[in-house]
Amino acid sequence: MGAMSASESHLPGVIALELSPEGAPPRAAIDTASAARLLEHLANDLALLAPGLDKLDLTLAGAHFDVAEALRPGWPLHRRLDELRARAPGQSTRSDARLIAFGADANGDIPPPLQSDPALAGASLRVLPFLVSGDEAAIAAIGDVLETELLDRGMASAATALLAQEAFATRIEHMRYLTVHDLLAMTSMQYGHMGLDPLWPILEAALLAPGEDVMLDAPPEPLLRLHDGEVSITLFSPQEWGRRYAAGEQDHDRLQRHMSQFEARQRQFAAVLEAHGIPVVYDYLPGAALAS
């Protein structure tokens, strides 16, 4: 995750909110004044971990998103935040750097693409994107510190958590700061617990190295290929599927049941990839896919 603009470098991060079981916050975004107050708390918390951060721009979106929306190729949430930051006036309480917060308008709306996807609402973990910006050397130094410190010491202060809880009108169980690399690592562990380990190399490459060509070719898992930033999922006829995944099986009912489970696994993989903004296509030519 390098520079998003020619003259500066950036460190993308998130505020992670672990919500209580009662449900999602009633507010998708807080107003700009509340976002600015939250940003000041964020700046103070991070400065305790990374001296020198107060000399860098810090930008926050006062809207919460699903983790998958923050982990998409090209980092669109953080890229949009940078574009808004580049056009923003000072909004700073510090003399040497800018604090820039974006929130909802008077009607409670926030402009796209800083709008969360309603289809991905409901998870207990929501994230608010932030961006640290400055010259390349300073960002590299701060990045090294934050990558080391946040996983172990990145809990928000009690005052910051209380402010966020009041602003979003919801109960927050835990609130912490993460770099996007931290968020990737945490998501990898969570997906592992969900049985999605086989998909992770495809997903990680699509995010970090979309130009790579990566295959998932490990029966009994579906056959997937990442190519040119797009994932193809191979569809099989019953006969082709049987030869590849159930050689020697003669029981027709068992074959049908296992193929139905396989197709459900394909749909699960596709849903996860699409949630992360990764294009999915279906390949009806398994012979060509296996030969490529």
pTM: 0.89
Distance CA 176, CA 259 (A): 42
Given a cut of 70, whether residue 196 has pLDDT beyond it is yes
- Kindly report the backbone phi and psi dihedral angles of residue 37, in degrees, each rounded to the nearest multiple of 5, phi listed first: -65, -40
57 band by pLDDT with thresholds 50, 70 and 90: very high
Q: Assess whether 172 and 47 both reside in one domain.
A: yes
Q: What pLDDT does 179 receive?
A: 95
Considering only residues 95 and 19, tell me which one the structure prediction assigns the higher pLDDT. 19
Given a cut of 60, whether residue 5 has pLDDT beyond it is no
Q: What pLDDT does 3 receive?
A: 45
Do residues 69 and 120 touch, judged by C-beta distance below 8 A? yes
Q: What pLDDT does 20 receive?
A: 86
Q: Assess whether 133 and 207 both reside in one domain.
A: no
Residue of 275, 278, 165, 283 lying closest to 224 (CA atoms): 283
Distance CA 79, CA 56 (A): 17
The structural domain count of the chain equals: 2
Given a cut of 90, whether residue 228 has pLDDT beyond it is yes
| Structural domain span for residue 147 | 9-193
For the chain, give me the number of helices (H) and strands (E)?
A: 10, 10
Q: What pLDDT does 288 receive?
A: 42
pLDDT above 70: percentage of residues in the chain: 90
Considering only residues 88 and 283, tell me which one the structure prediction assigns the higher pLDDT. 283
Q: What pLDDT does 106 receive?
A: 78
Q: Assess whether 166 and 70 both reside in one domain.
A: yes
CA-only gyration radius of the chain, Å: 22
For residue 2, being part of any structural domain is answered with no
HSE-up (13 A, CA, CB side) for residue 15: 28
In degrees, to the nearest 5, what angle opens at C-alpha 153 toward C-alphas 152 and 156? 130
Picking from 193, 213, 243, the residue at the C-terminal end of a domain is: 193
Distance CA 72, CA 233 (A): 19
